[in-house]
Amino acid sequence: MIQPKGIIAAMSTPFFQDETLNEAELRHQVDRLIAAGLHGIFTLGTNGENYAMDFDEKVRIMEIVIDQAAHRVPIYVGTGCVTTKETVALTRKACELGADCASVVSPWFAENTQEGLYRHYRTVAECSDLPVLIYNMPARTGVNVHYKTMKRLAEIPNIVGVKDSSGNFDNMQRYLEECQGISVLSGNDSLILPCLLAGGQGGISGISNVFPERMVEIYTAWEAGDLERAWKVQRSIRPLRDCMAMGNPNSVVKRAAFFMGQDLGPVRAPFNIQDETFDETIKKALAKVQG
């Protein structure tokens, strides 16, 4: 059973300007992220715009990423959907195609209870042999996976970890304190080193699309015991992180990657930000990060 750890890229999905999938660039990005030393690739997450795709598109992206990675690093596939039925179907497909782990975000839009979350995740975990990483993102789903719920879920054999994107360090800390035997990963780039220092296993990083080697360095410096270097690198990404408040973070990541020479194309409308002030702010942030 996989133990999620290290820095895992929350990979953007490259599109052409007409918003169709750029398959050649998707393969290139897989190779680029692996070459940078990332410990895994997470496709079809929030940063991958899974919320803006239909079932068949998701399956095609799974096929390409799994094929291109060719077992060089673990592939985490976002299979979370609004309903349990569709999440089960997509998770089974990911298992069939050879994914290493399913990352399952909580169902969104309709209000849920902690018991409803537990039943949903248990059903998904039991639908296949694929390891499952719980994806907690209350800002987008409207519900936080409570640490008591996570503690129950951690008892299910193939639930192997949680990606906490709450941005609430105390929430992450409760997972670390209460949920034994599973990995706890930061879904917030700014909290990767604090997560590691508190006993977590790493992070799933959107900024890896922009500065993959830099994000890996946080982990390698921590692993080597060079905390001064680890903190320096961790804090160096702050200017770009601050840009996330300007709008859809996916647009920030794709525009920043574009200015760094990566052809990821647009975010699918209506979430694609097109604004000169937005671009100039990102350029200034990139200059600070590189400085």
Catalytic residue ranges: 135, 163
- Report d(CA 17, CA 264) in Å as an integer: 10
Alpha carbon 190 to its chain's center = 13
Query: How far, in Å, are 83, 136, 137, 183, 198 from residue 108 at the CA level?
Result: 9, 11, 10, 24, 29
Q: Two tokens at 128?
A: 């296949």
Using a 10 angstrom Cβ sphere, with 0-12 exposed, 13-18 middle and 19 or more buried, the burial of residue 80 is: buried
In sequence order, which residues have a C-beta less than 8 Å from that of residue 94 and are 6 or more positions away?
62, 77, 79, 102, 130
**3-state helix vs strand vs coil in the chain, percent to 5:** 50, 15, 35
Q: Two tokens at 264?
A: 């990821």
Q: Two tokens at 52?
A: 């803006």
Query: How far, in Å, are 147, 149, 151, 174, 187 from residue 178 at the CA level?
Result: 7, 10, 6, 6, 19
What spatial distance separates the first Cα and last Cα of the chain, rounded to whole Å?
41
Query: How far, in Å, are 43, 65, 164 from residue 71 at the CA level?
Result: 14, 10, 26
Query: How far, in Å, are 55, 199, 248 from residue 93 at the CA level?
Result: 10, 33, 29
Angle at 122 between CA 96 and CA 72, to 5 degrees: 35
- Report d(CA 102, CA 92) in Å as an integer: 9
